[in-house]
Structure 1
Amino acid sequence: LGQMNILPTVGVTAKHLLSRGGSNCRAQLRNIAAAAATEYHASEAEMFNELSNKTKGKKLEKIVVNVSMKDGSKKTFLMNKDVSTPFHCASHINKGLADSSVLCIVRDESGAEEMSSMRQPLTTACTLDFISLQSEEHAEIVNQAYWRSCSVLLGSLISSSFNGTVQPVGAVNNQYSDGYFAYDIKSKSLEKWEPSSKDYSSLVLSLYQRMIEKNLPFDALLVNSEEAERFALGQRYTMENKSLLCRIGDHVESVDGPVISHAGQIGRFAVLKASKKSNGIWRFSGVSLPFSQSVSSFNWGIITDHSRKV
C-alpha cells in the first residue's frame, strides 16, 4: 500500500506529485512520458478538426433547443445546427451544470431519444436532459461511458508516451464490471522494455499534467463510413454507415458509445500493468474512479490490487 502514496489523489496537483516523487520520478518522465504529440497524432487531430469545421464559411442553420431543468422548468435556446453541443447549452445556463454533466439525453421532436456525449454536435431541434455522474436511473450507461472514456484516455497516453513508433491497436472492449479497462498498442521499440512500478507512476503523473489537470474535452463527432476511413483507426465501430469518433488532445479513436465530457471528471487513475502479447503487441490495463467519488488511500489500494490480479 505504500506504493499508492505516489499515485495521484483527487485535488493533488502534478507539482505536488513531482515534489513527492523525487529525482527518480523526474528521470522516468524524461525517458518515458514525452509530452510532445507525434506527427501521426497531429495529422489525425487535423482531420478531425477539418470534419468538425465543415460548416465554416457556410450560412448556419438555427435550431430550437429546450433544456429540461431539475425543478421542472424549461429553458429555450436558439443554437447552430451541426455546430452547437449540449455542453454549449449547459454553459449558457451556468458553469457548474456544464462542468458536472457527463452525458445528455437528446429527445427529438418525434419523441425519439438517445444518450449523447456532451461535446457531440446537435443535428436537429430537440429537448435535452443533462445526466451527472451521480445518476442512479442511468447508472449503467454512465458507468460504461466512464469506462469507455478511460480506455480512450489510456490509449492517448500510451500512444504518445514512448520513444519510437507506436501504432495504436485500440481499446479492449471491457465492461466496467470486469474491474479494469485496457488498451493495445504495437511497437518494436518496446521489445526489450521491462516495465516497473516507477514507469507506471510516471505515466500516471504525465496523464495528470497533460490531460486531467487541463480538463481536456472528449470531443465527439458522428461521421459517415467514408470519412471514418480517412483515419488510421486501430478498430472501427460502424452502425448504419456511421461511425462515432472521439478526440482528446491529438488522439482520435472510434468508440462504440458516448463518452464523458472532459478529463477533469476523472479522479483516481492507475496504470496497473503492461503485458507483452504476440506480434509485438503490448496490452496496458488500468482502473479509475471519477472525481466525484472519494475513496481513502487504503481502499484505493484494495481496488488496484484486485484489478491487477484480474
Structure 2
Amino acid sequence: MMNNINVILARSMVASFPRVATCSKRLTSSLSSEAVRQNHLFDIEQKKQKESVGRIEKIQIEYEGPTDKATLTMNKHISTPFDCAKHLGERIADQSAVALLNNDTLWHMHKPLPDSCKLQFLHYKIPQPTAVNKIFWRSCSFILGAVANAAFKDTVKVQLHSFPSPNVRSGSFVYDVQLDLADWKPTEKELKVLSIEMIKFCQQSHAIEHMNVSTELALDLFRNNTHKYQQIPDIAAHNNGKITLFRAGHHIDISRGPMVTNTNHLGRVTIANVIKLNTDVPGGPIYRFQGVALPKSIMLNHFAFGLLEERARNLNPARIPGSQESFEEDNSFVAQVTA
C-alpha cells in the first residue's frame, strides 16, 4: 500500500505500525550530501562575517523589563539580544521569544545588535501577543519544512517550495512542498509519525540562527532547489539585495523573520493534514502540509486542543503557489509592532 510506505517511522513506533517500518530515511539518519554542502557554505560565511567585524566597539543597551531596568555594555555587531538576556538571568533567556528594539522594531534574538538601543524581551504571555503569535507561527512553518524535507525515503524526491504569511486566524501553519507522488493521501498513522518527528526535532533544542548573505551565495546554497533558486532574485529585490537565512540544526531556509529563539519553544504539535493543491507549478504536485502547535509555556486541555486540531485539517486559505507569481519570500516580515 503506497500510502503506508512513504513516510518515516519513529523507532519507538515500529512495532505498532509494521506496514510502514520499511521506510529508510529518518530525521536521525546521517545527513544527505546536499545538507552537508549547504551547512559547509553556511559555516564558512558565518565565520567570515564574524571575522570581518574588526575592531570591537562597545555599545550601551538599556534594558527595560516589566519591573526592573539595567544598563549593559555589549559588543557592536557581535552581541545579540540573547547574549543580553543571559546576562540578566536564565529565566529571561529561556522564556523570551523575540526582542523589541527602541519600542518599535522586532529583532531576532540571535541577530547581532548594530548600535546602542533600548531593549525589551517579548514572551508568549504578554497582554498583546499578536506580533509574538505571528513569529511563533512563522517559526512553526520553518520547522515543518525541516521535518517534511527529511521525512520521506530516498526514492521520493522532495523540494521545499515556500510557506505563506503566518496567519494564526487561518487555523494552521503551513509549508508547501513538491513531492513526486501523484496522488498521496496520508493516513492518520503517517500524520501521527510526522507529528512525533516534529516534536522530536523541537526537543533537540536547536538554537535558530540568523544570517544575511549575498544573492550570489544564496543562489549557490540553493542551486539544487529549483523553486528557491528562482525565488531568490525577487526576494533580494525586496530586501536591499540581501537574502536572510535561518538555520535550526542542519536545516537552512529563507525567511526575513524574525523567528523564535529556539526550537524548544514549541510544546504540543500536531501535523493535521497534507493536501494536494491545484497549481500550475512545473515539476510535480505541490502538497500543503498543515499543522497546529502551542508554545510549551501555554497549557490547553485535551478537548480544546482537539478542536484546534480539527480546524487545522481544513485547507488553509493562504495563497496557492503559481508559476507566474511574483515572490517576496514568505511576505510576512514583521518589521514594526502592529496591533
- Interval of TM-score (by shorter of Structure 1 and Structure 2): 0.7 to 0.9
Mark the CA change 1:85 to 1:26 in structure 2 (over 3 Å): closer, same or farther: farther
Check if 1:62 corresponds to 2:57. Answer: yes
Residue 286 in structure 1 maps to residue 291 in structure 2: yes
- Using the size of structure 2 for normalisation, the TM-score is 0.76
Q: How does 1:214-253 map to 2 (within 5 A)?
A: 214-232=204-222, 234=228, 235-236=231-232, 237=235, 238-253=238-253
Contact 2:183/2:276 (CA < 8 Å) preserved in 1?
no
On the 8 A contact 1:121/1:221 being kept in 2, the answer is: no
Q: Which residue, out of 118, 131, 136, partners 1:141?
A: 131
My pick for the range that moved more, 64-73 or 81-90, is 64-73
Q: Contact between 1:104 and 1:130, CA under 8 Å: does it hold in 2?
A: yes
Question: Where has structure 1 moved over 6 Å in runs of 4 or more?
Answer: none
Determine if the alignment matches structure 1 residue 45 to structure 2 residue 39. yes
Counterpart in the other structure of 1:87 = 82
Deviation string, structure 1 residues 31-72 (Cα, Å, up to 9, x no partner): 276123322223222222222212455645233241223324
Q: Quick one: which amino acid aligns to residue 270 of structure 1? A: T
1:262 aligns with 2:256: no
Counterpart check, 1:98 vs 2:81: no
Residue 188 of structure 2: which of 197, 201, 205 is its match?
Answer: 197
Distance change (3 Å), C-alpha of 1:276 and 1:254: same
Deviation at 1:100, TM superposition (A): 0.4
| Distance in 2 of aligned mates of 1:229 and 1:63 | 35
Counterpart of 1:133 in 2: which secondary structure?
coil
For 2:212 and 2:50, the matched residues in 1 are separated by: 17
Secondary structure of 1:309's counterpart equals: coil
> What SS class does the counterpart of residue 127 from structure 2 fall into?
coil
Residue 246 of structure 2 aligns to a residue whose secondary structure is: strand
Name the SS of the counterpart of 2:243 in structure 1.
Answer: strand
Aligned to 1:272: 272
Are 2:189 and 1:184 aligned?
A: no
Q: Greater share of strand residues, 1 or 2?
A: 1
Give the direction of change, closer, same or farther, for the CA distance of 1:76–1:168 in structure 2 (3 Å limit): same
Is the contact made by 1:187 and 1:280 (CA closer than 8 Å) also made in structure 2? yes
- Give, in angstroms, the shift of residue 205 of structure 1: 1.3
232-241 vs 283-292, greater mean Cα deviation: 232-241
Structure 2 residue 151 is matched with structure 1 residue 161: yes
Task: Assess if the C-alpha contact under 8 Å between 2:81 and 2:110 holds in 1.
Answer: yes
CA RMSD of aligned residues (A): 2.5
User: For the structure 1 residues 187 and 231, does the alpha-carbon distance in structure 2 shift closer, same or farther, using more than 3 Å as the test?
Assistant: same
Flag structure 1 segments of 5+ consecutive residues without an equivalent: 1-13
Q: What is the rounded CA distance, in whole Å, between the counterparts of 1:104 and 1:30 in structure 2?
A: 45
Identity %: 24
Counterpart AA for 1:120: K
- Counterpart residue identity of residue 70, structure 2: K
Q: Alpha carbons of 1:240 and 1:303: their partners in 2 closer, same or farther (altered >3 Å)?
A: same
SS at structure 1 position matched to 2:140: helix
Q: Closer, same or farther in 2 for the Cα pair 1:225/1:82, shift >3 Å?
A: farther
Is residue 305 from structure 1 mapped to residue 305 from structure 2 by the alignment?
Answer: no
Say whether residues 1:77 and 2:73 are aligned partners. Answer: yes
Cα offsets for 1:173-214 (capped at 9, x unmatched): 3411111111122232x33644111111111212222x2212
Partner of 2:334: none
Instruction: Provide Cα deviations, 1:250-269, integer angstroms capped at 9, x if missing partner.
Output: 11111133111111111111
Contact 1:117 1:258 in 2 (8 A): yes
The 8 Å contact of residues 134 and 166 in structure 2, kept in 1 or not, is answered as no
Contact 1:29–1:202 (CA under 8 A) maintained in structure 2: no
Is 1:117 paired with 2:108? yes
| Whole-angstrom CA distance in 1 between matches of 2:273 and 2:32 | 23
Q: Could you tell me the TM-score, scaled by structure 1's length?
A: 0.82
Unaligned runs of 5+ in 2: 1-9, 316-339
Report how many aligned residue pairs link the two structures. 285
